[in-house]
Structures are given as C-alpha cells and as structure tokens.
C-alpha cells in the first residue's frame, strides 16, 4: 500500500466518518448498557477479559456488550459479557456499506457508555466508539503506530474523556488508570484467569497429552524467531522429553509451519485454520507450549500450561505473557522501539539461540 493510496484512503475515511456523524447525530434513548470496543488481536483480549470483573463489580446494574473481531469472539463467550457483536476486520476497513450495517447493530443496544479499550488506537476503532450512540465515550490517548497522527488528533476532540498513560507502561497499569477514570477502584485485579477457559488437564488430575506445542507465528515476520531454529528446537524437545511435536498457527501461517516441519528429523503434526476454541483445547492438553509472543502464548499463560515465550524487544515491557509463562530474550539498548527496528534484522530475536530456549524449557519442566 503506497503513500498516495494511504492518503486517499484517509481522506475517504474522514469523509465517511463525518457523514455518518450527521446521519447518527440523533441518539436513541440510552439504556444501562456499557459497550467495550476492541480492535486488536486475540492476545490482548485474553489479557483483558479477567479484568472486566472489576467493571462488573462496580457497574452492577449494567449490561456489558463486547465489540471485537470475528476471530476473537469465541473467546468472549465465557459469561464475561452479556452479548458479543463481532465484525470482519478487513471487510469493515474496505466496505463502507458493511460499516454502516455494523454500526447499526452496535447502536441497537443503546449504550450509555462506550469504552474503546485498545491502547493501540485505529481510526476504525475511534469510528465505532464515537458513532456507537453513547452519551459518554472514553479512550486511551494511544500512540501513532497504526493511526495517522492527524487522524488521532482530529478524533480526540469528539471523545468525552481521553485517558493519558505512558506508552510503555504495563498493560495492567494502563487498565488501572482507565478504570480509575470511570470511578472503579482497581487496586486489586482479578487473578483467577483459568476460569475463563475451564480447568487445565494436569498430571494432578487427568494427565496432559504427551505433546509439546510450538507456535512459530506472530503478527509480523519481524517479530518471529527464525524458522530453522524452531525446527531444531522441535527435534531437541522431542528427543529430551520423549514428546511428539505439534505445530500450530492460523491459515496465513500454514506455509511457515510446513517449512518448519520439512526441516525436522521427526515429523510433527501441523494444525492450521482450526477454530480458536479448539486451539484452546490443544493448549490446555499440552505438556508444554513454546513460541513467539502471540495470542496463543497469552492463552497458555492464562490456563496455566507450562510455557516459554521467545520475546523480542519492540514492546518488551508491555506484552509478554503473564501467569505461568517464562520468557527468553536478548536485551539490547534499542528495546521499546515499537518494532521500528533500526537494524537489518531484529537482533533482539535472531541472537536468541536454540540452547537459550532449551534452557528455559528445562527450567519450566523441572528438568
């Protein structure tokens, strides 16, 4: 997508947003409904879901509705929200009729308050929040990683509240500040994360399956550990743990997983394009999960599966998995670069060796 196309697209999005503001200028009578908007991925939603309990404990007489991407929606059907409205991310960006229809669905719940809970704001997220029909609309100040500065500044003026937090502060601290703006005492956050996806099958109860799950994908190639090292790692884990190896990823990562499998001495199982709820089951039954920073590592950390995250420095202080997961990293002075890497390759990842990862795996497994 070249810069000229981006400029035209921004101009179209601005026009459509202002046009829809005119169409939707008359609000429906609001109800005791709080709408939470998320435009980010699975990992961010998994981290956020347990914290919704703080909101529900404060707004006890309110109904909670989540608006999120289609692929993340099955993870929000655990009773945390009363209703989930999902949307197709790429279609929303490109199809303006689909935008209108999606906004009508959101406005039909008649929110009194809308919370855009993604720190990495996007124009489509601003649009959904600001056209939701709520009397009060709150968002983070965010940064300019995935939204043009002029667009973010222009949209800011339509919000009721902009909550200012430090770019590289921990996500939990960001939410504490956000909830505090809403009058919520969030000094204590929910820690019972396993309840979201049910109990993990562990050797203390029903034995976990004898496989190690590797997740070599990630949101961009820059944030992925070299694929040939995943092949070597898989063979080493298979030999040392006596475990079969399962490679897991989404549809777009199929070629990556196949290349890794072809390099391995022991043929692994390859799982791609399966429903996210089935992926959660795979993670819960695994003896071990190892992979790049991704939604799947966040799920492993949430359900308590032993996990090792191979973590780069772009968002180091914010996004590494919590809970049971351990991290392996290579510290550099350029950490917190927001993945605007100043080098020919991401040395914070490429200088992590297979032996480094195996060492963390042995610690996790008590070897």
Residue 189 clears pLDDT 70, i.e. is over it: no
Give the count of alpha carbons within 13 A of 127, CB side only: 24
DSSP notation for 134-154? -SEEEEE---SSSS-HHHHHH
Domain boundaries, the chain: 24-191, 209-365
Residues 125 and 99 sit within 8 Å (Cβ to Cβ):
no
Report phi then psi at 11, rounded to 5: -65, -40
pLDDT digits (tens, 9 = 90+) for 108-161: 999 999 999 999 999 999 999 999 999 999 999 999 989 999 999 999 999 999
Of 11-20, 26-35, 79-88, 282-291, the least confident: 26-35
Q: What is the pLDDT of residue 25?
A: 84
Structure confidence by residue, pLDDT tens digits, 206-250: 445 689 999 999 878 899 999 999 999 999 999 988 899 999 998
Q: What is the pLDDT of residue 192?
A: 44
Return the pLDDT at 191: 46
- pLDDT recorded at residue 202: 53
| CATH class, 24-191 region | alpha beta
| CA distances, 254 to each of 17, 92, 228, 273 (Å) | 36, 25, 15, 8
Exposure of 358 in the CB half-sphere (CA atoms within 13 A) = 16
Q: Is the pLDDT of residue 36 over 90?
A: yes
- Ordered alpha helix ranges (H), 264-346: 276-285, 295-303, 316-319
Q: pLDDT, tens digit, for every residue of 243-290?
A: 999 999 988 899 999 999 999 998 999 999 888 889 999 999 999 999
User: What is residue 208's DSSP assignment?
Assistant: P
Cα separation, 243 vs 264, in Å, equals: 14
Instruction: Reply yes or no on whether the pLDDT at 46 is more than 60.
Output: yes
With cut-offs at 50, 70 and 90, classify the pLDDT of residue 28.
Answer: low
pLDDT given for residue 219 in this prediction? 79
30 vs 224: which has the higher pLDDT: 224
Residue partners of 325: CB distance under 8 A and separation at least 6: 297, 300, 301, 307, 308, 309
Cβ–Cβ < 8 Å for 152, 142: yes
State residue 35's pLDDT score: 97
pLDDT higher than 50, residue 329: yes
Same topology for domains 24-191 and 209-365, yes or no?
yes
pLDDT at residue number 302: 82
Please tell me what DSSP assigns to residue 168: T
Mean pLDDT of the chain: 88
Q: Kind and range of the H or E element at 292?
A: strand 288-292
Residue 310 and residue 292 in contact, taking contact as beta carbons nearer than 8 Å: yes
126-164 residues labelled b (16+ CB within 10 A) or e (exposed): bbbbbbbbbeebbbbebeeeebbeebbeebeeebeeebe
**Dist CA 354 CA 228 (whole Å):** 10
Name which of 279, 264, 30, 261 is nearest 132 in CA terms: 30
Q: What is the Cα–Cα distance from 83 to 62, expressed in whole angstroms?
A: 12
* Token pair belonging to 223: 């944030």
Token output for 65: 């509705």
CATH of domain 209-365: 3.40.50.2000
Beta bridge partners of 140: 163
Give the confidence band of 295 by pLDDT, cuts at 50, 70, 90. Answer: confident
């Amino acid at each position: 997508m070249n810069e000229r196309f981006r400029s035209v697209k921004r101009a179209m999005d601005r026009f459509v947003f202002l046009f829809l503001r005119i169409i939707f200028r008359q609000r429906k009578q609001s109800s005791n409904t709080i709408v939470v908007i998320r435009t980010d991925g699975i990992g961010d939603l998994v981290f956020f879901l347990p914290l919704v309990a703080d909101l529900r404990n404060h707004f006890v007489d309110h109904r909670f509705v989540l608006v999120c991407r289609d692929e993340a929606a099955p993870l929000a059907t655990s009773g945390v929200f009363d209703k989930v409205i999902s949307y197709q991310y790429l279609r929303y960006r490109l199809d303006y009729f689909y935008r209108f229809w999606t906004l009508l669905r959101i406005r039909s719940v008649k929110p009194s308050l809308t919370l855009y809970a993604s720190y990495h704001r996007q124009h489509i997220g601003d649009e959904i929040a600001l056209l939701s029909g709520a009397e009060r609309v709150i968002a983070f100040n965010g940064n300019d990683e995935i939204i043009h500065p002029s667009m973010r500044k222009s949209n800011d003026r339509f919000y009721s509240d902009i909550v200012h937090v430090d770019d590289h502060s921990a996500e939990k601290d960001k939410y504490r500040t956000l909830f505090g703006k809403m009058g919520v005492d969030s000094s204590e956050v929910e820690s019972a994360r396993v309840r979201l996806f049910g109990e993990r099958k562990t050797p203390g109860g029903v034995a976990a399956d004898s496989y190690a799950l590797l997740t070599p994908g990630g949101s961009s190639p820059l944030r992925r550990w070299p694929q040939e090292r995943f092949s070597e790692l898989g063979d080493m884990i298979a030999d040392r743990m006596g475990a079969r190896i399962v490679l897991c990823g989404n549809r777009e990562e199929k070629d990556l997983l196949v290349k890794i499998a072809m390099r391995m001495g022991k043929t692994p199982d390859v799982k791609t394009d399966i429903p996210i709820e089935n992926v959660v089951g795979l993670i819960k039954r695994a003896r071990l999960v190892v992979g790049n920073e991704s939604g799947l590592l966040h799920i492993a950390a949430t359900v308590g599966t032993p996990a090792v995250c191979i973590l780069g420095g772009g968002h180091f202080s914010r996004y590494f998995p919590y809970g049971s997961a351990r991290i392996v990293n290579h510290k550099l002075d350029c950490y917190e670069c927001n993945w605007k890497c100043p080098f020919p390759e991401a040395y914070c990842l490429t200088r992590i060796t297979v032996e480094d990862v195996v060492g963390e795996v042995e610690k996790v497994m008590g070897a």
